[in-house]
Amino acid sequence: MPLKEKRIKEIIGGLGKSKIMVLGDIMLDEYLFGSVSRISPEAPVPVVEISSDKFLLGGAANVAANIRQLGDEPILLGLVGEDEASIKLSQLLKSIKISNAYLINDKSRKTTIKTRIIANNQQVVRADRENTHEMDRDTERIVLGRFNDVVDELSAVIISDYGKGAITLSLLEKVMEICLKKDIFVAVDPKETHFHNYKKVSVITPNHHEAGFAYGKRIRNESDLNEVGNGLLKKLEAKSILITRGAEGMSLFRVNEEPKHIPTFARQVYDVTGAGDTVIATFVSAISSGADLLEAAVVANAGAGITVREVGTASVTPQLLEIELHRNLENGSIVKKK
């Protein structure tokens, strides 16, 4: 079913009216920018002369930032440490009007920081500071209590699982039981090793490597892709699976429907950091705005095309999204005019 020009306006016009929970692993992204002019005498590695730096929201916090930029109200729920990084993260959230009221301080862990060194527009190295143990039962009860406090106000829940300990199997099962009972849309950005825990979700958004790993078959061609997509759909009893495929675009698998392949129209690719966060945020905001699954996939594809043109995680506004959707329409994507 093509997305017509009228529907673009309806979906974009409907953004900004929903509360969407983002539950998952919250991170702080640090970027150090510089240039390389010599090799270290200590080891055969480049010496990067740092000229500037910046901090950005990462992981589930970046998903929440994307939701906010699209106009909807994100409720960010997850774990942080009791450290300077958690203070910095709260400041960044406050700067874009996202509440820190649902950040749970866990004394047993440090706030996850991912530091990327960028030289001459290329990432040289990444250094991670983090704990990845699962939260204990007492902390889990606190998280579930905060979830229950707002669940009746939510149009959707996004599970942003990076395998850092915020998404335990028991928490996931309890959250899913509540959401299924209340008919709340649930989207999951998966961790490969947790893949088969995500039962009966509304949509799951793996990349093609994650999907192939989860199914046990490497995706080499369209036949493999269809087998993996339909196989996972059945195994997980999910309503839909959106497999992101980099330069090949995206493929949407739905129950009792033929797969739909959506080509990418990214003009340049500078940095894929955060593209998955943008995909799931844009998809869910579109659903909350009244889009169906295929329409939401087309909108998410446009959002990803915007993100990869920026260095570092980038947020997508309704205005940029509408421009990108019309550009895709003109370039002959599955989006077609009336």
Q: Assess contact for 106 and 143: CB atoms under 8 A.
A: no
Distance between start and end Cα atoms, the chain: 12
Rounded Cα distance between 49 and 174, Å, is 49
152 is catalytic: no
**Cβ neighbours around 193 below 10 Å, total:** 11
Q: Assess contact for 15 and 71: CB atoms under 8 A.
A: yes
Of 29, 136, 277, 292, the catalytic one is 277
The amino acid at residue 19 is K
Both tokens assigned to 144: 């579930």
Q: Which sequence positions are flagged as catalytic?
A: 277
